[in-house]
Amino acid sequence: MSSPLPLIVLVAPKHADVLASEFSRYQRDYDIQVTGSSEETSALLARARADGTPVALLVSESELPDSEMFPAIGAWRAILPTARRIIAAHWDRFMVDAEALRPGLSTGKYDAFLLMPRGVRDEEFHTAVTELLSDWGSTVAQPEVVAAEIVTPDVDSLSLGIRDFLDRMGMPGRIVDPDSARGQELLATYDGPRAFPIFTRMGRPPTPVTSVRDVAAMIYGTPADIDVDKVVDLLVLGAGPAGLAAAVYGSSEGLSTVVIESEAIGGQAGTSSMIRNYLGFPRGISGMRLAQRARNQAIRFGTRFFTGWPALALEPGTDGEPHLVRTEGGDVRARTVVISTGVDYRRLGIQPLEDLVGNGVHYGAAVSAAREMEGYDVIVVGGGNSAGQAAIHLARFARSVTIMIRRPDLSATMSDYLIREIRYNAVIRVQPCAQVVDGGGEGRLGWVTVKDLNTGEETRRDVGGLFLLLGAEPGCGWLPEDLCRDERGFVLTGRDIPKHLWAHGTPPANLETSVPGIFAAGDVRGGSMKRVAAASGEGASVVPLVHAFLGSA
């Protein structure tokens, strides 16, 4: 039996003809339903939830006959929090409603406030619609269009890790039971031993894998694929916002550019479900989409990417020789190197919880894991923007989300727009002056112990998810001693480098390290702002310095 089409609900008490006509273009893939009031819409959503019918999008006129707009939107979200929400104001009311309704965007009451189309082919309106439908589609448990499949009888930490990697790389994947019809179809083309998980993508033969790196190498190759006799102009280590910007600007300006990334493209920013304050994206953009757009842009200019290969060692060149970066997948020689490896989340250090990483315990946002949290109580540990974005995304699925912080409140560490959105969301609460001190479960997370830092009292709580976003550690132990670092391990650049290391009494360039021709950008650099936009700016700014170095060499 085929699954029901997802619903698009048009709440249109006055202009049903206009909206129904506009949304007729979506009728092949969605079931378009029209309601005339808040109460009728709530009843439809309640039936859809009871029947298991997915609701992708709610599009409402700005004036309802039986409710004010904000209470109606809140009621609908309480019934089906995963549906995306648009207010489409009629052109007769757009300016009247704008002042009252637009502030709702900043608290996450809905996703877009748009002018209802005034004629055919209003593609600006439909761009917003398709972006939100795409955003919804990327969070459903089983995506309709998949780029890869993971065949396994057990949904273990490895298979979930592979799916998370695929999601972060913009390649929707699904887990397939080998006994299902689809599983049997895939395994019919496989002759080897049944060692699960077995991975396949876009018509390629199924292959057993033992790690996420195996999957990365199958898709993107290894650094050993680079001609050993070739020396590249620019080697970028790390493909977060800083590394991606360096790749785009470096390759677009004629530098042969290679990027090596230890995990997935995007770094920590790539795990963000929605970045709402990045310049130029008024409706917000997920970290994954931002990263993949930047990656595609860099590839267009000639950048080569190798994913899943952490740098193990950097050997600075001397007497004009190129620098050498070693990985388990091969070595790369480069005239210049940009270190943009970002930071790692600090480990909690509680062994019973460390043993459950991937089984209810996650470091970082783990966007794909959110869909596994339906019906569970979840804790997010951390007070930065990444923690706030993770909590808002998890609130679409979890029964409750608690943001746990050691500070008295979020004001010192989180952007105001996120604090306001969290305050409005009834599913999320903030627990200050508290920390997780223990936890466990049978095969997956079942409980944690929380300590009140004011009273010392410890309380056991049943939870199904623990997401740890505990702050920044640079993870630069693999770098040579020649590169000067601060007391926390962040790479120093420019005038922050001690004067006795300046060549001829002149400080290195602003983003240059203590080794000529090696630069640092983004979160790994001492004194950086730790924001996506700032990291992107540093990645772009480092390229003129690279050009200047190459010109003087």
- Of the two residues 394 and 271, the one the predictor is more confident about is 394
pLDDT surpassing 90 at residue 98: no
Q: Is the peptide bond before 205 cis (omega within 30 degrees of 0)?
A: no
Residue at which a domain ends, from 471, 493, 509: 471
Q: How many CB atoms lie within 10 A of CB 551?
A: 7
The count of C-alpha atoms lying within 13 angstroms of the C-alpha of 59, restricted to the half-sphere facing its C-beta, is 30
Residue 261 lies in a domain: yes
110 lies in some domain? yes
* pLDDT score recorded for residue 415: 92
Q: Containing domain of residue 39, as a range? A: 7-137
CATH number of the domain residue 541 falls in: 3.50.50.60
Quote the number of domains for the chain.
4
Q: Name which of 343, 340, 305 is nearest 546 in CA terms.
A: 340
The pLDDT mean for the chain works out to 92
- Is 65 in the same domain as 76? yes
Q: End-to-end alpha-carbon separation of the chain, Å? A: 68
Tokens of 467: 């997401």
Question: pLDDT tier at 141 (50, 70, 90 boundaries)?
Answer: low
Assess whether 129 and 29 both reside in one domain: yes
Q: What's this model's pTM, rounded to 2 decimal places?
A: 0.89
In-domain check, residue 142 = no
Same structural domain for residues 373 and 456? Answer: yes
Distance CA 519, CA 436 (A): 38
Q: Could you give the strand order of the β-sheet that contains 434-440, starting from the edge strand earlier in sequence?
A: 434-440, 447-452, 458-462
pLDDT of residue 228: 55
Residues 479 and 448 in one domain: no
% of the chain with per-residue pLDDT over 70 = 98
What kind and span of H or E run contains 151?
strand 148-151
Q: 446-472 pLDDT, tens per residue?
A: 999 999 999 999 999 999 999 999 987
Residue 1 has pLDDT above 50, yes or no: no
508 and 532 housed in the same domain: yes
